[in-house]
Every structure is written in C-alpha cells, then in structure tokens.
Chains A and B, each alone.
Chain A
Amino acid sequence: MFIEREIEVINKLGLHARAAAKLVKLSAGYQSSISLDKEGQSVDAKSIMGVLMLAASQGAKLKLMVEGDDAEQAADGIEGLFLSYFDEGE
C-alpha cells in the first residue's frame, strides 16, 4: 500500500534535533518504508541524519510518503506526532 500526505510543521522550533529523534524512533517501529520530502529533497524518515538535513522549520510543508503493509498506521502515527507538536506543548 502507498500513502502520500502533506504535513505542515506546526511546532515552534521546527524539526529540531529532539523532534527529529522522536520522529525517527517512531518511523523505525514501522515495517513500511517512509520518506519525507521537502522542496524536492527526499530523505528516509528512519535516518536521523537525513531528517536533520531537511532543516524543516515552523511552517515548512513536507510530503510524507509511506509504502508497505502498515502504511496506514505509519502515516497516521507520524501525522499525529507532527500534530501533537512532538509532545512539546508548543
């Protein structure tokens, strides 16, 4: 199964190191291959260096692409993490 979604970075600090670590940890738990795309640059969401390279700040629009058996859960989980401000409250 292949899922593509638009996600906006809404938390204040953007996809900073701690947030990226949380995202990578969550992604690594899924079987599907997950990649994030920012302005045409696409990286593996299971790789911390890749996610950090994106340097996505608040307001950045990312494209989430998930492919695999648990794609639906993975896409929901990751979208949820962005929407919950990476559990940082702002």
Chain B
Amino acid sequence: MNTERQEQEGVSPERVMDGVQEVDWISSSTKRIRAQHHAIKLFGFLNPLRETPVCIVTENELEWLFSQTEQSLGASPAFDPEKVTILVFCDNCRPNPAVISVCRKHNIALARTRLTGNDILDYLQLHLSRVIAARGIQHGVFLSVMNVGVLIIGASGVGKSEVAMDLVQRGHQLVADDAVETYRGEQGGLIGECPDALKGYIEIRGLGIINILKMFGPSAVLDSCRLQLVIDLIDATNSEIRKVDRLAPSLKDWEMLGVKVPCLTMLVAPGRNLSVLVEAAVRDHLLRVDGTDSSADFIRAHTRSLETGAEERGAEKQDEHTCIGDDL
C-alpha cells in the first residue's frame, strides 16, 4: 500500500538550523515552515520587496534594516513581517532593539551566527529541501544494487527480506527492511532512508530479527540512496508465468510523492533465483538508461534479417527468371 505523509505540521525554526553550529537564538517563533510550491523561494538574503520564510542578514542588509524604525518595519507596505519565519544574522552582526521588538511582535525567530551569509546560504541550499520535504513510509525492502537504489515490494510473505539477505550476501547494500522512509530530494528524485529504529536490521521468518550491520560489517549497510527502480514480486502459479509477454520486460510506472519510477513486475516461482534476476534487472535498467533496450534491439535486428531474407529470395527469383531467359 502506497502511503503519503505530508508534513502538515511543518518544520520549526530550530529544526531548520539544527545542522549549523554556533547558533544563538535571540527569540523563538511558533511559526512553521512548510513545503510550498516550488515557485516560492524559501530562503534568501533579506529583501524588503520579496520576503522569504528564511531571511539572511549580513552587513549589506544591515544598512537598510537599521535605517528603519520599529513602526516602519511593522507597517511598511513593502516589507511584510508576517511572511518571515526566521531572521538569521550572519557575520556576527547584531540586531538592534527595533528589530528584536518587531520579531517578538510578529512571531519571528531571531538567530545569530558567526558564519558568513554565503555559508548559511550553502547550508540551506543543501539541507532545507531535505528537512521540509514531504515524507512517506513505504512498505518494502530498499537496497543499493550496484549503486542503483532498488525498492522491492510485494505482498507480505512473498520473500522480500530473503531476496535482500541474498543480495547483501552477494555484496550489495541494505538500506531498509520492511519500512522505508522516502522523501523528494534535490533534482526531483526520490530518496529512501531507514527509520532510525530499524537501521541495520532485517527480519527473516524463522530466523527472527538479524543484525546485518554486525553480521556483515558496515560495508553491507547504506544510510540512504536514490530510488531508481522498483521491483514488484508477485507469487505466480505456472499458468501465470505462461501469460507473461516474452519479448519485453513487464515495466510500468510506480508513483510516490508525485515522482514516477519504473517498476518491473517479477514473478516468484520455484527455480527462479530472485537475487540473480534482480541483479540482471538492474544491469538491464542501467543499459536502458544509457539508451540500450535489449528487447527492442533484438526485435529490430530480427525484423531486419527477415526483410533482407525476403529481398534476397526476391532477387534469387529474378535471377532464376533471367537464367531461363538466357537459355531461350
């Protein structure tokens, strides 16, 4: 079941800045920053004409800010304090009493740091989208197979964890078993992570809960990975295997948080070594991304050979006619 969880409650100012060392909070705020439409910028240097939820103040912005009085800041037609959630003073700049008073009045968090404005900008660029991204929990096993993030889904008991175990044994990395936390990362891709409580563990029926991290070492576990391929395991009777299209992979689109990922249906049946098939599917996916479609290539080559065969036969027939003509 595909579930989506929007961060309805939003993110607190403290959480937005929690990766920055040496932050002094002068005032806090109960406002929250939410994932908004992409067109709305979430942060930037303080600009009285275009407020962002996170405003960075450096010496360049101080001149304008300090030229304002408490009344003009709160009532200026150009600057709307309601749109601002955090004001970050960088370069060790200090807010003046008018700014502090406006922030308290309009519920704006006020932070000070020794870092430069550009440092904060870099930090926000990397971390803000991650922190406020819409997140969802997906049922399935998530692995990095040859550096491709593969999510294995399917009904419970179909053998997802067993395939994962086999793939780890073959040198691939486990990200999360059973519950995968996904969010929309930079460049619009889906990133999968393991919920903290489950990190490094896998549950196998009959063996209980296994510590993969201890059993196989740190190289067998990965913190997060970009999701590129979904494999849907379906327990199939033999009659269903016969119904499968033999010429093309059973690919469809799988969607989560508005991002589409190719999904391959893989039938589970005795005699099918799933970990080998998953590896093959990943290799084929990499080829397809590179522009090579094995199935289509084969069919094209085959059609061409049929055509040339027909032409040659046509030519032979013509030859026969001309031979007969020569005899006469």
Contacts and interface: CB of A to CB of B under 8 A. Distances in A.
A, B co-complexed = yes
Nearest to A55: B197
Interface residues of B, number: 20
Interface of A: 28, 33, 35, 37, 40-44, 46-50, 52-53, 55, 65
Contact of B179 (A28, A33, A49): A49
Contacts of A55: 197
A49 B198 contact: yes
Nearest to A48: B203
B1 interface: yes
A37 B6 CA distance: 14
Contact of B137 (A42, A46, A52): A42
Contacts of B209: 48-49
A42 B197 CA distance: 15
Contacts of B198: 49, 52-53
Contacts, number: 58
Contacts of B178: 43-44, 47-50, 53
Given A47-B178, A49-B198, A52-B197, A28 B156 contact: yes
Q: Which secondary structure dominates where chain A touches chain B?
A: mixed
30 contacts: A28-B156, A33-B1, A33-B155, A35-B1, A35-B3, A35-B139, A37-B3, A40-B5, A40-B6, A40-B8, A41-B3, A41-B137, A42-B3, A42-B5, A43-B137, A43-B139, A43-B178, A46-B157, A47-B156, A47-B178, A47-B203, A48-B203, A49-B177, A49-B178, A49-B201, A50-B139, A50-B179, A53-B178, A53-B195, A53-B197
Contacts of A33: 1, 155
